[in-house]
Amino acid sequence: MRTEQPKVIHLKDYQVPDYLIDETHLTFELYEDRTLVHAQLVMRRNPDAGAGLPPLQLDGQDLELISLALNDRQLGLGDYQIAEESLTLQPDAASFTLDSTVVIHPESNTALEGLYKSGGMFCTQCEAEGFRKITYYLDRPDVMSKFTTTVSAEKHAYPILLSNGNPLASGEEGDGRHWATWEDPFMKPAYLFALVAGDLWCVEDSFTTMSGRDVALRIYVEPENIDKCQHAMDSLKKSMTWDEEAYGREYDLDIFMIVAVNDFNMGAMENKGLNIFNSSAVLARAETATDAAHQRVEAIVAHEYFHNWSGNRVTCRDWFQLSLKEGFTVFRDSQFSADMNSPTVKRVEDVSYLRTHQFAEDAGPMAHSVRPESFIEISNFYTLTVYEKGAEVVRMIQTLLGEEGFRKGSDLYFERHDGQAVTVDDFVKAMEDANGADLTQFKRWYSQAGTPRLAVSEQYDAAAKTYSLTFRQSCPPTPGQSEKLAFVIPVSLGLLDGQGNEIALRLQDEDAPVGTTRVLAVDQPEQTFTFLDVPEQPLPSLLRGFSAPVKLDFPYSRDQLMFLMQHDSDGFNRWEAGQQLSVQVLQEMVGQHQRGEALQLDQRLVAALRSQLEDECLDQAMVAEMLSLPSEAYLTEISEIADVDAIHAARDFARQSIATALFELFWKRYQANREVSRQTPYVAEAGHFARRALQNIALSYLMLSGKPEVVAACVEQFEEADNMTERLTALAVLVNSGFEAERDNALASFAEHFKDNPLVMDQWFSVQAGNTQPGGLERIQHLMQHPAFTLKNPNKVRALIGAFANQNLVNFHRADGAGYRFLADQVIVLNKLNPQIASRLLAPLTRWRKYDTSRQALMKTELERILASGELSSDVYEVVSKSLA
Ligand code: B3K
Ligand code: ZN
């Protein structure tokens, strides 16, 4: 066990840096067995930090110092002190130049942070604190510097040498080596530094910005992937146009580059002018990537591009402000995806994700506010709360200020803070100043953790024709925050009459009605709003578009939910009514299972889904969403104590009953859509996504019938489809079926066909990891022996182990605890190899409070075993210790 307690960093202790680095000149000499890094830092005392010349403490980790010179004077051992994570020396003037040379070992860096090797190429990942593994530096986002970077390497193995900014010069060195120098004219913090060296090919295009400047666009990949870049390039150009139109933001360098690497801890990284991407977030073509993968590529390319303004031009003062760039940028990319595809489908996907995963985080031991107060390891705070809830907070600001007001606020923010490292308060202040608004109370969304509950009750006075809604808000305690103050909750709503028409909304004290959808700002613990001239008892449609990230509670009957599914003018709320109906029905069946009764499905759910399937005018993507019952993970999240087996049994039974009752309709829609798919070449567009989505969900229901004509259709789709969306669904459906011969054939032929494509093999692993039939753990253990699997590649870990623990709940939570033991074993191994991946992988164990006492004990035993397993990384230590606290 760890003897030293790792240090806790607090937001309240923030101090401006003692020194600044105006210029950073780096030279990298890359070799197979070591890399030499020369850094020349042009530094000065920070005028904002007070008088005198305090010691200079630079960050540095795993660096072997070769030489150090201050203003060209070589320093000796007595001139500086080296500790495990720092180097300290005493400057003798307010301005000085510091030259250092260190040796580092990218070739053995398995943590994938700092400079490392992925396959045959060198690449970097510096956010948040990886630059200190490259050279001694002030590795904090409020130290911004102008960088020039020279890279030298052997020419044959590394013909391409890249860094941030614009190319300045290049040349040969003799000995088969060559070099290139890059200059980034924009000041940036070290976390945005990037370097790439490898044998890469590129797809090239260009973009003319709104002021008429030409920008070269390049996507670099390993040669075998050169045919999978077009979708990312199209997405990039759409993003550039969109950011000009929606936010007035123009690109600022002469070149924008994306590089795809196979070994990457997350999706991608927004390094200035040189984005580095997980290959899974760049490569996409019909034959190898699903519709979901295409949409993910489009969203991530956009997200990283948008960071050029929200993150790079205006950056964070400190890491507590992470949501300043991440929440805002997720909000921006979700607006973009909504504009490129279907806004309602996008909203449904985002809200499902938030409610299943972020709400669970908010209710668990790692719960933290959007702007956390403290951390041990910042890597643990790249969370759903900072990203997704942070985006919801920005969205609420837009809902409260209106689209125009929000745009004025963002214009002021970018103009006022260009080139600065700022805080969440600065962002909100710009929104306030541009609109003359007061968001003081609203800012509690940034400082209070936990998911608020909003209980709503109604009162109709037929004589006075008034209708009142009373809102009661509360928020459960979270670690370190027992009491919460009232939030400002924007509630978008409408009222429906008995025919399903919208009622014009006139609030008390208003002279006339104003529209049929209104936003109420609920800002008291309890508050009543009264509407006038309401001719009959209405049915409220509450929280339209999910206008706030809260748990809403209104006592809808099932008939009322069916009415809303039919009539609500808000597309999101039509889906939401269907979800709530499904939840009610499934929870009732969970109860039946627990009492040992025969399961009975409320036929109203079948009727509601039937009318969706019958109506051929509806958006097929929304019909597919309606037909997707709430996931087991979501049903777990909304349970006080989750009964894994009952949830699985109830959901399975409901699916089976729906499949039987609606067989003919499913079959008709399936055949019609499959026929179109057969006749139409693959297109990555919303209408085509929608057709395939309905076709595929229909197939998954149809296969539950086990009818030979369906099995034949599934095999046909698997074998004949020209795209991965259809092929992979057919495979997944076969894998989860009892048709062993067909399943084994399909798995074998898929692996044989795609064995050289690691991203496709990830899908092959995932599909099997998700198989909920008994024996799941043994299948995973067996697959870990497959030659295509390795713990060193984060995508493989996520595809197999992550998918198993997060999506295959009945198998992972099997009663003897073997699933937990297995996960803990993997975490213990990964703790040494790659702490960031280890700490993320263990998240399912942190949710132990959700389960029965026997499972709780088993999960805690494994957390304790991890804690006692030896020297823990700060990443794993923080998550495990907080989970057990
Ligand atoms: N900013 C990066 C995330 C870096 C994570 C470091 N552990 C990607 C993104 O959010 O765009
Ligand atoms: Zn981001």
Distances (CA, A) of 740 to 103, 711, 716, 773: 55, 12, 16, 12
Q: Give domain status of residue 856, yes or no.
A: yes
Tell me, using a 6 A CB cutoff, whether residue 377 lines ligand 1: no
Tell me the C-alpha distance between 353 and 291, whole Å.
Answer: 17
Residue 667 in this model has a pLDDT that exceeds 70: yes
Task: Given the residues 113, 298, 304, 377, select the one marked as catalytic.
Answer: 304
Q: Whose CA is nearest to atom 1 of ligand 1?
A: 269
What's 121's domain CATH number? 2.60.40.1730
Residue 1 in this model has a pLDDT that exceeds 70: no
- Contact in structure between 56 and 81 (CB atoms under 8 Å): no
Tell me, using a 6 A CB cutoff, whether residue 269 lines ligand 1: yes
Q: Give domain status of residue 121, yes or no.
A: yes
Angle (CA) 292-297-303 rounded to 5° is: 120
Q: What are the beta bridge partners of residue 831?
A: none
Distances (CA, A) of 198 to 179, 232, 328, 683: 12, 20, 33, 32
From 146, 179, 199, give the residue that closes a domain.
199
Residue with structure tokens 């057969």?
A: 678
Distance 250 CA to ligand 2 centre (A): 18
Residue-averaged pLDDT of the chain: 98
From 199, 219, 250, give the residue that closes a domain.
199
Q: Whose CA is nearest to atom 5 of ligand 1?
A: 127
Please give the number of the atom of ligand 1 that sits closest to the Cα of 265.
7
Q: pLDDT digits over 732-782, tens only?
A: 999 999 999 999 999 999 999 999 999 999 999 999 999 999 999 999 999
Q: pLDDT digits over 672-693, tens only?
A: 999 999 999 999 999 999 999 9
Q: Whose CA is nearest to atom 3 of ligand 1?
A: 269
Distance 305 CA to ligand 2 centre (A): 9
Q: Give domain status of residue 513, yes or no.
A: no
Please give the number of the atom of ligand 1 that sits closest to the Cα of 300.
11
Distance 274 CA to ligand 1 centre (A): 14
Tell me the C-alpha distance between 688 and 685, whole Å.
Answer: 5
DSSP, res 501 = P
Q: Which of 151, 255, 137 is nearest to 205 (CA)?
A: 255
Distance 823 CA to ligand 2 centre (A): 28
Distances (CA, A) of 793 to 26, 164, 517, 764: 29, 26, 49, 15
Q: Whose CA is nearest to atom 2 of ligand 1?
A: 269
Half-sphere exposure of 464 (CA within 13 A, CB side): 10
Tell me, using a 6 A CB cutoff, whether residue 326 lines ligand 1: yes
Q: Give domain status of residue 786, yes or no.
A: yes
Is residue 576 part of the annotated active site? The answer reads no
Element (H, E) at 529: strand 526-532
Q: Whose CA is nearest to atom 7 of ligand 1?
A: 379
Tell me, using a 6 A CB cutoff, whether residue 291 lines ligand 1: no
DSSP, res 792 = T
Q: Is the dihedral of CA 447, 448, 450, 452 positive or negative?
A: negative
Tell me, using a 6 A CB cutoff, whether residue 379 lines ligand 1: yes
Q: Whose CA is nearest to atom 8 of ligand 1?
A: 269
**Using a CB cutoff of 8 Å and minimum separation of 24, what contacts does 435-439 make?**
435/401, 435/405, 435/408, 435/409, 437/400, 437/401, 437/405, 439/397, 439/400, 439/488
Q: What is 244-265 written as a DSSP string?
A: HHHH-----SSEEEEEEESS-S
Which of 191, 278, 325, 326 to mutate for ligand 1's pocket (most ligand atoms within 8 Å of CB)?
326
Residue 377 in this model has a pLDDT that exceeds 80: yes
Distances (CA, A) of 100 to 44, 87, 837: 16, 11, 32
Q: Could you tell me if residue 112 is left (phi over 0), alpha (psi between -120 and 50 degrees) or otherwise beta?
A: left
Q: pLDDT digits over 97-153, tens only?
A: 999 999 999 999 999 999 999 999 999 999 999 999 999 999 999 999 999 999 999
Confidence of residue 6 (pLDDT cuts 50, 70, 90): confident
Distance 737 CA to ligand 1 centre (A): 38
Q: pLDDT digits over 286-314, tens only?
A: 999 999 999 999 999 999 999 999 999 99
Residues 249-276 have a mean pLDDT of 98
Q: pLDDT digits over 387-438, tens only?
A: 999 999 999 999 999 999 999 999 999 999 999 999 999 999 999 999 999 9
Q: Give domain status of residue 833, yes or no.
A: yes
Distances (CA, A) of 732 to 15, 321, 589, 725, 844: 53, 41, 26, 11, 23
Which of 131, 191, 192, 269 to mutate for ligand 1's pocket (most ligand atoms within 8 Å of CB)?
269
pLDDT computed for residue 671 by the predictor: 98
Distance 131 CA to ligand 1 centre (A): 14
From 176, 199, 222, give the residue that closes a domain.
199
DSSP, res 471 = E
Q: Which of 335, 264, 249, 253 is nearest to 299 (CA)?
A: 335
Residues 776-795 have a mean pLDDT of 98
Q: Give domain status of residue 863, yes or no.
A: yes
**Tokens at residue 20, please?**
């600044």
The proportion of the chain whose per-residue pLDDT surpasses 70, expressed as a percent, equals 99
Distance 326 CA to ligand 2 centre (A): 5
Distance 638 CA to ligand 1 centre (A): 29
What's 876's domain CATH number? 1.25.50.10
The proportion of the chain whose per-residue pLDDT surpasses 90, expressed as a percent, equals 99
- Contact in structure between 422 and 314 (CB atoms under 8 Å): yes
Q: Omega into 93 within 30° of 0, i.e. cis?
A: no
Give the ligand whose atoms come closest to the C-alpha of residue 277: 1
Q: How many CB atoms lie within 10 A of CB 512?
A: 8
Structural domain including 56 reads: 1-199
Tell me, using a 6 A CB cutoff, whether residue 18 lines ligand 1: no
Tell me the C-alpha distance between 544 and 107, whole Å.
Answer: 52
Tell me, using a 6 A CB cutoff, whether residue 726 lines ligand 1: no
Q: pLDDT digits over 472-505, tens only?
A: 999 999 999 999 999 999 999 999 999 999 999 9
Q: Give domain status of residue 376, yes or no.
A: no
Burial class (CB in 10 A: 0-12, 13-18, 19+), 447: middle
Q: How many CB atoms lie within 10 A of CB 763?
A: 23
Q: What are the beta bridge partners of residue 21?
A: 43
Please give the number of the atom of ligand 1 that sits closest to the Cα of 330.
10
**Tokens at residue 259, please?**
């590089």
Q: Give domain status of residue 787, yes or no.
A: yes
Tell me, using a 6 A CB cutoff, whether residue 883 lines ligand 1: no
Q: Whose CA is nearest to atom 4 of ligand 1?
A: 127
Please give the number of the atom of ligand 1 that sits closest to the Cα of 270.
11
Which of 123, 125, 258, 266 to mutate for ligand 1's pocket (most ligand atoms within 8 Å of CB)?
266
Q: pLDDT digits over 194-252, tens only?
A: 999 999 999 999 999 999 999 999 999 999 999 999 999 999 999 999 999 999 999 99
Q: Which of 45, 63, 64 is nearest to 55 (CA)?
A: 45
Q: What is 815-871 written as a DSSP string?
A: TTSHHHHHHHHHHHHHHHH-HHHHHHHTHHHHTGGGS-HHHHHHHHHHHHHHHTSSS
Tell me, using a 6 A CB cutoff, whether residue 270 lines ligand 1: yes
Residue type, 103: V
Burial class (CB in 10 A: 0-12, 13-18, 19+), 725: buried
Residue 4 in this model has a pLDDT that exceeds 70: no
Characterize 817-839 residue by residue with b for buried, 16 or more Cβ atoms within 10 angstroms of its Cβ, and e for exposed. bebbebbbebbbebbbebbbbbb
Which of 126, 270, 312 to mutate for ligand 1's pocket (most ligand atoms within 8 Å of CB)?
270
Residues 826-852 have a mean pLDDT of 98
Distance 330 CA to ligand 2 centre (A): 7
Tell me, using a 6 A CB cutoff, whether residue 277 lines ligand 1: no
pLDDT computed for residue 818 by the predictor: 98
pLDDT computed for residue 2 by the predictor: 42
DSSP, res 287 = T
Residues contacting 301, CB < 8 A, separation 6+: 232, 235, 236, 239, 258, 268, 277, 281, 282
Distance 275 CA to ligand 1 centre (A): 11
**Tokens at residue 565, please?**
């599914």
Tell me the C-alpha distance between 665 and 613, whole Å.
Answer: 7
Q: Which of 752, 722, 747 is nearest to 734 (CA)?
A: 747
Distances (CA, A) of 40 to 97, 220, 254, 271, 463: 7, 29, 25, 21, 81
Residues 630-654 have a mean pLDDT of 98
Looking at the 3D structure of the chain, how many domains does it have? 2
Please give the number of the atom of ligand 1 that sits closest to the Cα of 268.
8
Longest distance between any two alpha carbons in the chain, whole Å: 95
Tell me, using a 6 A CB cutoff, whether residue 382 lines ligand 1: yes
